[in-house]
Amino acid sequence: MNIQDFIRDIPDFPKPGILFKDITPLLANHEALVGCADQLANFSPKDIKIDKVIGIESRGFIIGSMIAERLGAGFIPVRKKGKLPYEVNSKSYGLEYGEDILEIHTDAINAGEHILIHDDVLATGGTAKAVCDLVKELGGVVVQCNFIMELDFLNGREKLNVPISSLLNY
């Protein structure tokens, strides 16, 4: 099974000039879904116990929670501004197509906890960098950022000085 076969390219979505990487065909196929989560969980360092996996709203929630289950870790949702009900820390960030604010609950992470951050796509790296900053502000340690795919030509990994793993590179 080739995960790449389940990623659909949508030109000019959500804006002209963006080639959107649609993961819904992957999510809809049991073998691809489970294979993707298994491979990403296997990428996590074997010598460090991951305490919590962060999934970034919204596509990062799906595989992120499957990775957490496989690693015996908890799951933390990082959400867009105004969605989380309790006290939050916020961070604004630039996107490949716009700007936004991400939030995390202030009690989501205990100092020193090992955190794995997951999202579907690493593009410019602004989103993942903002989440790394939120984790550090709460005293957590980012052990790895992992992604289903990385858009190499946008050099997102240069913004992140943490280990990065991706299943696919474009």
Positions that interact with ligand AMP (CB under 6 A): 18-21, 56, 59, 95-96, 119-127, 156
Is residue 96 part of the annotated active site? The answer reads yes
Min dist CB 13 to ligand AMP, Å, is 8
Is residue 113 part of the annotated active site? The answer reads no
Helices (H), 75-139: 126-137
Among 8, 70, 87, 96, the one annotated catalytic: 96
> Residue 9 or 38: which CB sits closer to ligand AMP?
9
Min dist CB 156 to ligand AMP, Å, is 5
Residue identified by tokens 């969980």 is 41
Print burial letters for 149-164: b (CB count within 10 Å at least 16), e (below 16).
Answer: bbbeebebbebbebeb
What region does 115 belong to: left with phi over 0, alpha with psi -120 to 50, or beta? beta
> Residue 12 or 139: which CB sits closer to ligand AMP?
12
Min dist CB 21 to ligand AMP, Å, is 4
Alpha carbon separation from 20 to 10, 15, 16, 121, 152 (Å, rounded): 5, 9, 10, 10, 14
Residue identified by tokens 């090992």 is 114
3-state secondary structure of 147: strand
Among 31, 57, 59, 70, the one annotated catalytic: 59
> Residue 44 or 124: which CB sits closer to ligand AMP?
124
> Residue 109 or 121: which CB sits closer to ligand AMP?
121
Query: Which residues participate in catalysis according to the annotation?
Result: 59, 96
